[in-house]
Amino acid sequence: MTDSLTEIKNQLSDLMTRYRDRVDYLAIRLEQSEGTNIVLRSEKIETLSEGIAIGGQVRACHHGGWGFAAFNRLSTLPERIEEAIAAAKLVGEEETILAPVDPVQIICQLPLTGTDPRHIPLAQKKALCDRYNEILRSFSPKITTTSVRYGDTTQRILLATSEGSMIEQSWCDIEMRFSATARDGEMLQTGRETTGSRKAYEDLASLDQQVMDAAQRAVTALTLPTVKGNTYTVVIDPILSGLFVHEAFGHLSEADMLYENPDLLEVMSMGKRFGSEQLQIFDGAAPAGHRGSYFYDDEGVQATTTQLIKDGVLVGRLHSRETAGKLGETATGNARCLNYHYPPIVRMTNTWIERGHTPVKELFNDISEGVYARNWLGGMTNGEMFTFSAGEAWMIRNGQLAEPVRDVTLSGNVFKTLANIEAIGDDFHWDESGGCGKGGQSGLAVGCGGPSLRIKEVVIGGDSD
C-alpha cells in the first residue's frame, strides 16, 4: 500500500462501481504485513529474518460459484478482478445465498498495552531467544535437544465489498514456543511450552520460569513410572480443557464442515443435548485482548460472541456468510484467512468452556483411583474422536494426588466425553498459545480457555499388565 490510503480507497470504490453489477458479490482485501521469525535449535540458528509482505485478494461470487485471485501489485487489480469473475461464472450453477450484513465504513485498530514489537531491534529479539535457549540447555546435562521459536506479525487490512463496506483494521500478534528433550539411555522425554499475545512485546520478555518448567518436565519424566492403561475418572486442568474444547468440539461447530456432511449435520442438530445443565461453551472474537480477537472478520462481519452449548444443549454454530445463508442462520463473524494468499473459511476465534461452581479441591473427592492431567504435549482429532497427550500427570488415590506418572494420553469420543463431565471447577485460565490449522492455513492465531473438569470413563493410554 505505497499509494496514499485515500487514493487506494477511492480506487477500490471506483472498481466496485465498475464491476459489482457483473456478479452477485465482490470483495477486495488488501494487506500489508511485516514481521520477524527466529528459530534456534540447540546451538544453531535455523532462521533469523525480518520481512514485509504487500498483496491482496479478490473474491467474486456468481450463481453460488466462487472465483478467487491473489496479487502482489495493485496495478494489476483490474486484471485480477476479471479473473475472479470469470472463474466464478465458470463454476456457478446455483443460487447465491449469503446471510445479510449491514455495510460499514470504519477504521479500527486492536490496541497495544505495551511496546510494539516493530520497535524492538532484531538483535534484542535474538538475545531474548538466546537467553531462553540457554535456560533450557543449562538446566541439566540430560537435556540433549532444545528449540526456541519467536515470531511476530503486524497486519494492516483494507476490505472493500460490493455491498458498500470499507473496513480498515490492524493488529499485532506475537508468539514464542519452547521445547527441551531429555535423554537417559534409550529413554527420551520432551517438555514444551507455547505462549502468545496481541497486547505487548513485554508479555514474552519475562518467561524464564515457564521456560525452566519445560526443561524440568522433560528431565523429571525420565524417572517416572508409566501410567497403567485403563479407563479412569480424570481431572484435567484449564489448559487441557481449553485444548479439548478447541480441538474436539470447536472444529465440529464450524458450519462449513456441517453443510457439506449431512450425517454430521444431523448429529450436530440444534436443540440436541450434549452435556449436563452446568455446561456452557462459547466462541467469539468480541472479547478483547485475546489472540483470536478482532473487530470484523475477513468478510466484513462484525465480531460476535456465539454461545454454542447452553445448559448442555446445542444452540449455536460458527458461520461464514455463505454457511449461514445456506443453513438459514445468522452470520457470526468467523470467516477468517491466514493472509491474502488464501480465501476466508470458517474458523474459530476464542473458544472456551465457562467456569463452573465446584471448588477445584472438591473435583478429586471420592475418586478411588484416577488421573490428574495438566498442560499438553500434543494431540489430534479425527471427526468426533480425539487423542491428547498430557504435559504432566499424577495418579489420584482415595481423593488425593499420589505419585506422578508419564506417557499419559487421553482418548475418546467428544460427544460421550461431554456427557461424562461430572463437575466443572470454579477456576478459569485463558491459553494464548494457539496456532490453529485448517484447509492448508496453519498457524492462525486463536485463544482458548476453560476451568478444571472432572470427567468419568476416559480411556488413558499407557502400559498394560
Q: Over the chain, what HEC string results?
A: CCCCHHHHHHHHHHHHHHHHHHCCEEEEEEEEEEEEEEEEECCEEEEEEEEEEEEEEEEEEECCEEEEEEECCHHHHHHHHHHHHHHHHHHCCCCCCCCCCCCCEEEEECCCCCCCHHHCCHHHHHHHHHHHHHHHHHCCCCEEEEEEEEEEEEEEEEEEECCCCEEEEEEEEEEEEEEEEEEECCEEEEEEEEEEECCCHHHHCCCHHHHHHHHHHHHHHCCCCECECEEEEEEECHHHHHHHHHHHHHHHHEHHHHHCCHHHHHHCCCCCECCCCCCCEEEECCCCCCCCCCCECCCCCECCEEEEEECCEECCCECCHHHHHHHCCCCCCCEECCCCCCCCEECCCEEEECCCCECHHHHHCCCCEEEEEEEEEEEEEECCEEEEEEEEEEEEECCEEEEEEECCEEEEEHHHHHHCEEEEECCCEEEEEEEEEECCEEEEEEEEEECCEEEEEEEEECECC
Domain ranges of the chain: 5-221, 230-461
**pLDDT (mean) for 294-310:** 98
pLDDT in the model for residue 461: 86
Residue 448 confidence (pLDDT) above 60: yes
pLDDT in the model for residue 278: 97
CA 293 – CA 112 distance, rounded (Å): 13
Residue 71 confidence (pLDDT) above 80: yes
Residue 465 confidence (pLDDT) above 70: no
HSE of 395, CA atoms in CB hemisphere, 13 A: 16
Residue 433 grid coordinates: 498459545
pLDDT in the model for residue 260: 82
Residue 1 confidence (pLDDT) above 60: no
- What whole-number percentage of the chain has pLDDT above 90? 93
Do the beta carbons of residue 390 and residue 254 sit within 8 Å? no
Residue 116 confidence (pLDDT) above 70: yes
Residue 124 grid coordinates: 534484542
pLDDT in the model for residue 464: 54
pLDDT in the model for residue 463: 63
pLDDT in the model for residue 257: 87
Q: Which strands make up the sheet holding 281-284, listed edge to edge?
A: 313-314, 305-310, 281-284, 350-353, 441-450, 429-438
- Give the pLDDT confidence of 191-227 residue by residue, as tens digits: 999 999 999 999 999 999 999 999 999 999 999 999 9
**pLDDT (mean) for 22-46:** 97
pLDDT in the model for residue 312: 98
Average pLDDT, the chain: 95
pLDDT in the model for residue 5: 80
pLDDT in the model for residue 6: 86
Do the beta carbons of residue 346 and residue 253 sit within 8 Å? no
Residue 435 confidence (pLDDT) above 90: no
Domain 5-221 CATH assignment equals 3.30.2290.10: yes
- Give the pLDDT confidence of 380-420 residue by residue, as tens digits: 888 899 999 999 999 999 999 999 999 999 999 999 999 99
Q: What is the value of pTM for the model shown?
A: 0.95
pLDDT in the model for residue 3: 57
